[in-house]
């Protein structure tokens, strides 16, 4: 039987033929593409005289088929998974880890790379080539090339264990999310909930062949209750369920997995002569060291804490005035904060949502990209999809040439992990004079259309879509020679700049007038609502900042302390890390670490601070746009160059070239109202 993953695809833009791919195709395709990649490595090792082109560039170009097949598999593992696919991941991940180790720990190959690194005249290389040479050499060193054989074997064992544990962690969180349901049969229990949320819950119940209404831990469903339900006991029940995922002492519990991952990362770092995992990671970040990260977090914490405490007191006073008699808890804050916001700014999500139908918001994001960069989006119906909900587009540059293929996947479903993210099925690179354009995807979890209503977004979801679209633009606009330096392959504390800066256009009337239109009447969003959006932008911002900082402190507690080897109680570690940021009493058996996918199964270990770090850059960058005009062609062209450069230039230099100076934290503090 032929394997569609290995055959020539013969599809529009060489896109993945999802309709042909079955689960049984992945493992043999991965194994064969690993074998082919090994052959490519053997060929480059056989050259008589190693140089930059036949070694560094050849190594960079090896394994492209494996990369594409792996991308298809792991993207579907996140967005369209099932039990069989999750079981396959347990086989495939160790194979890929072993192959990666085989390359990085190949002494003969490393000596060849080292020779080229030491003998190449870097003045004869362009910036991208210099970056590739240095990055390639350093990647070998950072992955154990200088270790003795005994230590190399230990590194292999650690990496294999980490590969499995990270998968287990993610699978447990997903299964916990999927197995929970809150089935409501008494209509009185729906008091306070928005009409759209009630309709969606009724449709969810119907899909499960139940009467009444079903709420889940998918964020739109959870948020509807935590923000609007008049039933405090129901809010508490949902809060506990949402915040105790993988923390119940059963087969899906992640407590021991979290400890094991943190300790293995520490062991790996010390094996490579680093003080901690954070020291290892941050060597290749803008922040450079755990000390600088902690200093950065602490500076924001000192600014935010007293203001956040005042915000909570104002909220408590408001709740009391509303008739609440008791101590505010975590499951009360969203409920009363929404009511307080309504009273202060005369807006709430239910008033705003009719102006933010998903299709119009998508058009707004596209229009922003068109006005800034001259690119256009053409929906295609001949590009295969991995699920009927996915939309596919051809992205065209200002000269009429293909820029990218774009996939957009917006709605929650069984087998899809929570949250929102950008990814790619194929990355941009140049080879033999041909510019291979990227295949980019964003994945979200918004409410599906219900009844006669389209999908209507909260304002927070609007900014989420623009955020992920900003990442997508970073990938789409890439114009580099080498795949490992293209698109979002940049320092982790720089990667959030393109996404976070895009959120700013959601607050500007000039931008909103393009897409914020009532889904029934098509009337523009009234200026008083825009004014309310802008005035409420900093509403309880210090409280939100403190929450983000708590995640950063928690991340560093797990990864920045050499004492992690002695830790036996991860729950106590978490409590000690975040207690200074806690504004409300701890609620029951809840835990952040056991579901903190960003740092335990994603790529943010020792890097969660980067959201705030990038906010400094984004606030400073958008201040430049506002000075000149939010669609100013000169500023847009300068930012386009930043986006298209990928990781070919040090991000500090890249930002300085764009802005004309280094970023200032003052713009963030001013925007957040915590200066």
Active site residues: 468
Distance CA 2, CA 21 (A): 11
Q: Residue 377 forms beta bridges with which residues?
A: 395
285 by Cβ neighbours in 10 Å (0-12 / 13-18 / 19+) ranks as buried
For 209, other C-beta atoms within 10 Å of its C-beta total: 6
Per the CB < 8 A criterion, the answer to whether 212 and 184 are in contact is: yes
Helix H or strand E segment including 464: helix 459-476
- Pick from 315, 275, 292, 371: nearest CA to 564: 275
End-to-end Cα distance, the chain: 65
Alpha carbon distance 487, 476 (integer Å): 7
Long-range contacts of 70-77 (CB under 8 A, 24+ apart): 70/30, 70/96, 71/423, 71/424, 71/425, 71/426, 72/5, 72/16, 72/21, 72/425, 73/26, 73/30, 75/423, 75/425, 75/441, 76/386
Contact between 412 and 459 (Cβ < 8 Å): no
Task: State the DSSP code for 56.
Answer: I
Whether 234 contacts 221, CB under 8 Å: no
Q: Of 545, 582, 502, whose CA–CA distance to 675 is shortest?
A: 545
Phi-psi region of 424 (alpha: psi -120 to 50; beta: other; left: phi over 0): beta
Residues in the chain: 675
The closest alpha carbon to 466, from 501, 496, 491, 419, belongs to: 501
128-155 burial, b at 16+ Cβ within 10 Å, e below that, comes to bbbbbbebbbebbbbbbbebeeeebebb
**525 within 8 A of 507, measured Cβ to Cβ:** no
- The residues that bridge with 394 in the sheet, in sequence order, are 378, 405
DSSP 57: I
- Give me the helix-helix angle, 610-628 and 290-321, nearest 10°: 80
Packing angle of the helix pair 330-345, 232-242 (nearest 10 deg): 120
Could you write out the DSSP letters of every residue in 149-212?
A: HHHHHHHHHHHHHHHHHHHHHHHHHHHHHHH--EEE--GGGGTT--HHHHHHHHHHHHHTT-SS
CB 619 within 8 A of CB 668: yes
Return the bridge partners of 182, or none.
215
Write out the DSSP string of 363-410. Answer: HHHHHHHHHHH--EEEE-SSS--SSTT-EEEEEE-TTSSEEEEEEEE-
d(CA 117, CA 58): 14
Helix (H, G, I), strand (E, B) or coil at 493: coil
Q: Strand runs (DSSP E) across 196-310, as ranges? A: 213-215
């Amino acid at each position: 039987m032929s394997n569609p993953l290995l055959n020539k695809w013969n599809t529009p833009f060489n896109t993945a033929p999802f309709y042909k791919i079955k689960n049984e195709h992945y493992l043999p395709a991965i194994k064969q593409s690993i074998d082919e990649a090994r052959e490519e490595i053997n060929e480059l090792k056989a050259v008589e005289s190693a140089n930059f082109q036949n070694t560094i560039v050849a190594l960079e170009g090896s394994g492209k088929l494996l990369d594409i097949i792996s991308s298809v598999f792991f993207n579907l593992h996140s967005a369209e998974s099932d039990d069989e696919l999750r079981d396959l991941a347990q086989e495939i991940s160790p194979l890929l880890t072993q192959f990666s180790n085989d390359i990085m720990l190949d002494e003969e190959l490393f000596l060849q790379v080292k020779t080229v690194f030491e003998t190449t005249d870097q003045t004869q290389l362009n910036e991208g080539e210099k970056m590739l040479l240095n990055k390639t050499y350093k990647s070998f060193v950072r992955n154990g090339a200088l270790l003795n054989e005994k230590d190399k074997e230990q590194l292999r064992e650690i990496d294999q264990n980490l590969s499995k544990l990270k998968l287990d962690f993610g699978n447990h969180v997903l299964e916990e999310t999927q197995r929970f349901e809150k089935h409501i049969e008494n209509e009185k229990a729906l008091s306070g909930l928005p009409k759209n949320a009630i309709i969606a819950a009724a449709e969810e119940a119907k899909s499960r062949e139940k009467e009444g209404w079903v709420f889940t831990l998918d964020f739109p469903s959870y948020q509807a209750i935590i923000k609007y339900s008049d039933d405090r006991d129901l809010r508490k029940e949902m809060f506990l369920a949402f915040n105790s995922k993988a923390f119940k002492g059963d087969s899906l519990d992640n407590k021991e997995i979290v400890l094991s991952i943190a300790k293995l990362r520490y062991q790996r770092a010390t094996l490579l002569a680093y003080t901690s995992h954070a020291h290892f990671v941050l060597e290749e970040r803008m922040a450079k060291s755990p000390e600088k990260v902690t200093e950065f977090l602490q500076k924001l914490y000192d600014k935010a804490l007293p203001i956040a405490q005042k915000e909570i007191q104002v909220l408590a006073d408001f709740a009391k005035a509303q008739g609440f008699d008791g101590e505010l808890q975590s499951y009360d804050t969203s409920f009363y904060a929404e009511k307080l916001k309504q009273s202060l700014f005369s807006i709430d999500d239910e008033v705003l949502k009719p102006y933010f139908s998903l299709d119009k918001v998508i058009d707004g994001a596209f229009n922003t990209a068109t006005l800034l960069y001259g690119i256009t989006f053409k929906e295609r119906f001949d590009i295969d999809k991995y699920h009927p909900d996915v939309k596919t587009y051809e992205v065209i540059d200002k000269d009429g040439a293909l820029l990218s293929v774009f996939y957009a996947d917006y709605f929650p479903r069984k087998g899809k992990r929570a949250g929102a993210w950008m990814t790619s099925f194929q990355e941009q690179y140049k080879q033999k004079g041909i510019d291979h354009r990227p295949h980019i995807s964003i994945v979200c979890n918004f409410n599906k259309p219900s009844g006669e209503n389209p999908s209507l977004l909260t304002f927070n979801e609007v900014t989420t879509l623009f955020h992920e679209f900003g990442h997508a633009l970073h990938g789409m606009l890439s114009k580099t020679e080498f795949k490992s330096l293209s698109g979002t392959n940049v320092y982790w504390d720089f990667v959030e700049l393109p996404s976070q800066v895009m959120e700013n256009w959601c607050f500007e009337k000039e931008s909103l007038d393009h897409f914020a239109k009532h889904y029934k009447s098509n009337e523009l969003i009234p200026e008083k609502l825009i004014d309310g959006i802008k005035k409420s932008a900093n509403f309880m911002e210090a409280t939100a900042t403190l929450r983000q900082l708590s995640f950063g402190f928690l991340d560093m507690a797990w990864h920045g302390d050499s004492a992690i080897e002695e830790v036996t109680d991860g729950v106590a570690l978490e409590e000690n890390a975040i207690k200074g940021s806690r504004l409300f009493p701890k609620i029951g058996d809840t835990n952040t670490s056991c579901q903190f996918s960003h740092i335990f199964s994603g790529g943010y270990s020792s890097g969660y601070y980067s959201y705030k770090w990038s906010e400094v850059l984004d606030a400073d960058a958008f201040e430049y746009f506002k000075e000149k005009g939010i669609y100013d062609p000169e500023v847009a062209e300068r930012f386009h160059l930043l986006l298209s450069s990928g990781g070919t230039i040090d991000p500090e230099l890249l930002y300085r070239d764009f802005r004309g100076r280094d970023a200032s934290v003052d713009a963030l503090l001013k925007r957040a109202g915590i200066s």
